Amino acid sequence: MTLCAVPTPPMTDVAASMRRGACPSLAAPMQTGDGLLVRLRPLDGSLALSQFSAVAEAASRFGNGLLEITARGNLQVRGLIASTVPALAEAIGEAAIVVPDGVAIETPPLAGIDPEEVVDPRILAATLREVIAAQGAALKLAPKLAIIVDGGGRFHLGDTIADLRLQAVGRSDDVWWKLSLAGTAATVKPVCALRTEAVVPVVIRILEALAAIGPAARGRDLDIDAVRALCPPGAGQVPFAPALAPASSVVGMHDLGSAGTILGLGLAYAQIDATSLIAFLQQASELGGRGIRLAPSHGFFLLGLERAAAAIVQRLALSQGLRIAPDDPRNHIATCAGSTGCASAWMDTKAMARLWVETVPDLFDGSLTVHLSGCLKGCARPKASALTLVGAPSGYGLVVNGAAKDGANAYTDENGMKSALERLAGLVRENKDAGESARSCLTRLGAARVSAAFEQG
């Protein structure tokens, strides 16, 4: 296993890897509409403030100056070209940023800090990385295959999709791991519960089964009964834990008891320019900030601040356009880079997001996510959303209860967009019952009525 700063990739390797369909790492950048994209997964999502600043400086020097944090809590640098990828890799190495290679093994953003977790999952995750890496070429696995090792707690990863999920279950003074396949904590196929010492052998056997299917196989391709047969005798007799409570929102001020105050922040529409980020991190460092943990939902936690300092930093974050509160409507809008950052997009998604916030604020009560997609690819949110707006050469298409690729239910052009949103806002305002959520209201009204209001009034 490589647990070190990423080596500089040869130019021939960079040129050969400009492709879609694989994770866009430094060794394999992905071609997008605004150049090459690189995704970084620092070990445990942890960076010193100086390291985070170094990534931002490198993004400004070698990319287009934009950084993103993905829905899974990974860093992305955009706008690279083949000749600048090696320079970015060198800058990452000079900053001593640890980026594990191989299969993505994810733990909650505050693993080892969250006082409500059953156990620190990073120990098991590290062992898995080592053993999987030792298999070498014998395990040819899908590039986007993901394993979640979740110790629970306030900021668990129950809403994040995984091919294999290991959920810690407290049993007296012992810990068991609930093993499941293919989905979120609510949609997975449960397999069995394992003692800690049994986890690694079983996971390796499952990965070997995936490799036998082929290099594109994912957790959903496995037969659940065949997987259960790989578990030790009696494992399935262990009762599973109750359903997880919803994970707390990342953004906001969090009192973690003996762990102190943690400030959660989010990027507005998943993106920030390098100059703004560097300025903010400098201010946070001067006030005592010592590090960050990347987090799902396009956010990060700032560590090391006393509560009074955290309140000051929170106000500074707001002045830089960051999301600071759970009730910020921007928490519930998913956007891609849009036409200002991607040649494939037909919509300025950031400007459109601002228009939605101004025009239909009643929609953003936390019950639904609006997806604004610059094109049919739906990069920011491949799964279905209550409302998806898709850019097209002739205007915009609205998809109700679907994904960008599913086909629009209604259309409008540039000139009609604001009026269409005003009609949509009026429909919800006039029909929403007392105490009813925006999502429930839209569901009750139905796709035909919502589409008619958007398109025709």
Residue-wise pLDDT for 68-103, tens only, equals: 999 999 999 999 999 999 999 999 999 999 898 889
Confidence band for 14, pLDDT divided at 50, 70 and 90: very low
Choose which CATH entry (3.90.480.10, 1.10.10.10, 3.40.50.300, 1.10.3720.10) describes domain 11-102+250-326.
3.90.480.10
Strand order in the sheet with 189-195: 104-106, 146-150, 162-171, 174-183, 189-195
Indicate where the chain has its CATH 3.90.480.10 domain(s): 11-102+250-326
* Orientation of helix 349-359 relative to helix 417-431, angle to 10°: 40
Give the pairing type, strands 299-303 and 261-266.
antiparallel
Average pLDDT over residues 26-50: 89
Average pLDDT over residues 327-352: 90
Which residues share a beta bridge with 410?
398
pLDDT in the model for residue 46: 96
pLDDT in the model for residue 237: 59
User: Residue 59 in contact with residue 39, Cβ under 8 Å?
Assistant: no
pLDDT in the model for residue 332: 92
Average pLDDT over residues 191-206: 94
Average pLDDT over residues 279-296: 96
Architecture of domain 110-237: 2-Layer Sandwich (3.30)
Confidence band for 239, pLDDT divided at 50, 70 and 90: low
Average pLDDT over residues 365-390: 92
Q: Residue 219: is its pLDDT beyond 50?
A: yes
Strand order in the sheet with 395-402: 333-335, 370-373, 385-392, 395-402, 410-412
Q: Which pair of tokens denotes residue 172?
A: 């007296």
Average pLDDT over all residues of the chain = 89
Confidence band for 18, pLDDT divided at 50, 70 and 90: very low
Q: Which pair of tokens denotes residue 147?
A: 């394993």
- The Cα–Cα gap between 41 and 103 comes to 11
Of the chain, the percentage scoring pLDDT greater than 90 comes to 75
Confidence band for 2, pLDDT divided at 50, 70 and 90: very low
Q: Is 371 helix (H, G, I), strand (E, B) or coil?
A: strand
Q: Residue 112: is its pLDDT beyond 90?
A: yes
Higher pLDDT, 22 or 368: 368
Average pLDDT over residues 303-327: 95
Choose which CATH entry (3.40.640.10, 3.40.50.300, 3.90.440.10, 3.30.413.10) describes domain 330-455.
3.30.413.10
Q: What is the pTM of this model?
A: 0.87
Average pLDDT over residues 150-163: 94
Indicate where the chain has its CATH 3.30.413.10 domain(s): 110-237, 330-455
pLDDT in the model for residue 430: 93
pLDDT in the model for residue 236: 63
